[in-house]
């Protein structure tokens, strides 16, 4: 299924530089199972972003939105939004 990811971060530090706000928006092919795995990691891992992004050492607030692009729902999933 084709999905759109929107990652918003506030008050972050990258390579020692303070950044007020950053939004990263991308599309990808993902299975329903992969979306659920990523969502679970996002919810349960305190350092989800800093462990995966080179140079990122601090994040004040962040949110990850996952939106299916396909018009037909998969297992009733229309939109999945989580925040850390």
Q: What confidence tens digit (pLDDT) does each residue in 18-65 have? A: 999 999 999 999 998 998 988 888 888 878 888 888 999 999 999 989
Q: Is the pTM of this model over 0.85?
A: no
- 77, pLDDT greater than 90: no
Instruction: Supply the pLDDT for residue 50.
Output: 84
Strands 17-29 and 56-68: unpaired
Q: What's the CA gap between 83 and 26, in Å, rounded?
A: 17
Instruction: Supply the pLDDT for residue 76.
Output: 53
Q: What's the CA gap between 84 and 71, in Å, rounded?
A: 27
Residue 77's CB is within 10 A of a number of other CB atoms, namely 14
Instruction: Supply the pLDDT for residue 47.
Output: 84
Q: Measured in Å, how far apart are the chain's first and last C-alpha atoms?
A: 24
Residues found in the chain: 84
Instruction: Supply the pLDDT for residue 81.
Output: 45
């Amino acid at each position: 299924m084709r999905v759109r990811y929107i990652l918003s971060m506030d008050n972050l530090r990258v390579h020692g530089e303070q950044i007020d706000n950053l939004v990263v928006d991308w599309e990808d092919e993902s299975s329903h199972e992969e979306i659920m795995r990523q969502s679970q990691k996002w919810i349960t891992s305190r350092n989800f972003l800093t462990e995966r992004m080179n140079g990122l050492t601090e994040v004040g607030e962040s949110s990850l939105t996952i939106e299916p692009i396909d018009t037909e729902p998969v297992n009733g999933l229309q939109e999945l939004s989580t925040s850390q």
